[in-house]
Amino acid sequence: MAQLPATYILFGIFTGILILSSSISFILKRRAGEEPAPVIDNLVARINAWWVMLIVLAVAITLGKIAFIVLFALISFFALREFISLLPTRRGDYFPLLIAFYFVIPYQYYLIYTDWYGLYSIFIPLYVFLLVPIASLKAEDTTHFLERSSKIQWGLMVSVFCISHVPALLNLKVSGFDGEKIWLAIWLIMVVQISDVLQYMCGKLFGKHKVAPILSPSKTIEGLFGGIFLATALGVAMSWLTPFNYWQATLIGFIVCIFGFFGGLVMSAIKRDRGVKDWGNLIQGHGGMLDRIDSICFSAPIFFHIIRYWWG
């Protein structure tokens, strides 16, 4: 994949933002001294995790399309593992899980690589939907059969199918757009992820009214509106990465942020049902992989199809 100077400039900007954020967090930590400061500690951990994620993303983009696809295949693998690990399994689940991890994930991303849209768009929602309960029949275990099959199907839809739409953006033929397709993925990831961060920060600074006290006690109405407004403004400022004009960037930025927010709530509902706070501890400061990508799970397919049907 040919890399244009603008790509490096973009990552230079994000590196500068992280340097500034790290400096501010260091100052706040020094001022706190020996006093317990859980909010500052959480902020430091989040910034450190962002450094790691930025470096990994930059390396994958630099190496090209194959590396970018492999990166998201690995993300799907770890995300599905977290999803399955929080839900009870029986011996009858082993065969369908073996298929899910070692056939469905590689094949879905192979289809992305070959740009076989007609198949990768229905492979998991249709064929794997039928395959999972058929594979479960091998053990002849009927205990909670429906719940067990649904668990695997849900995990594949969220962790693999939805996430695979991010690298699928590289295959789109966008009319009137001469930039690198990777910019579309960068725009989506940054807007949605920054929305999460800004919702957290605005909620800590101004939040008083809970959005969903049971599902996600940390989310507030003030944080929601503040985070989405600022992230949408960022999307408009970054519209040069996309085929969007300012009004289109505003509307699409708002849409992906809203779906990202509801994605986080849905995944929080599943965690509450399982009685856990985080999906895992893979990423220090962010919990598990699913804690970091839950918003992208819901926003990526929407963003992909908006571009495909309106600019394709």
**Whose CA is closest to 275, among 189, 186, 214?**
214
Last residue of a domain, one of 12, 34, 63: 63
**Containing structural domain, residue 162:** 71-171
Residues 184 and 88 in one domain: no
Residues 43 and 30 in one domain: yes
DSSP annotation of 177 reads -
pLDDT of residue 130: 96
pLDDT of residue 42: 66
Q: 213 φ, ψ to 5°?
A: -55, -30
- Which helix (H) or strand (E) segment holds residue 136: the answer is helix 129-136
- Note the residue count of the chain: 312
Residues 151 and 24 in one domain: no
Give CA torsion, residues 22, 23, 28, 30, to 10 deg: 110
Residues 192 and 276 in one domain: yes
Most confidently modeled range among 10-24, 51-65, 125-139, 190-204 = 125-139
Residues 134 and 225 in one domain: no
pLDDT over 70 for what percent of the chain?
Answer: 91
- What whole-number distance in Å separates Cα of residue 107 and Cα of residue 8? 31
Identify the bridge partners of residue 210 per DSSP, sorted by sequence position.
Answer: 220
Last residue of a domain, one of 171, 190, 220: 171
For the question of whether the overall pTM of this predicted structure is more than 0.85, the answer is yes
Residue 88 vs residues 91, 94, 187, 230, 271: alpha-carbon distances, Å: 10, 12, 37, 40, 13
Residues 270 and 192 in one domain: yes
Last residue of a domain, one of 140, 171, 202: 171
Q: What is the pLDDT of residues 222-273, one digit of tens each?
A: 888 998 999 999 899 989 889 999 999 999 999 999 999 999 899 888 888 8
Residues 86 and 182 in one domain: no
Residues 144 and 125 in one domain: yes
- What whole-number distance in Å separates Cα of residue 19 and Cα of residue 17? 5
Residues 48 and 108 in one domain: no
Q: What is the pLDDT of residues 72-92, one digit of tens each?
A: 999 999 999 999 988 778 888
Three-state SS at 10: helix
- Give me the number of domains the chain comprises: 3
- What whole-number distance in Å separates Cα of residue 191 and Cα of residue 196? 9
Residues 177 and 165 in one domain: no
pLDDT at 309 over 80: yes
pLDDT at 171 over 90: yes
Residue with tokens 């230079």: 12
Residues 194 and 309 in one domain: yes
- What whole-number distance in Å separates Cα of residue 233 and Cα of residue 251? 10
Cβ atoms of 209 and 220 closer than 8 Å:
yes
Residues 76 and 108 in one domain: yes
- What whole-number distance in Å separates Cα of residue 264 and Cα of residue 292? 9
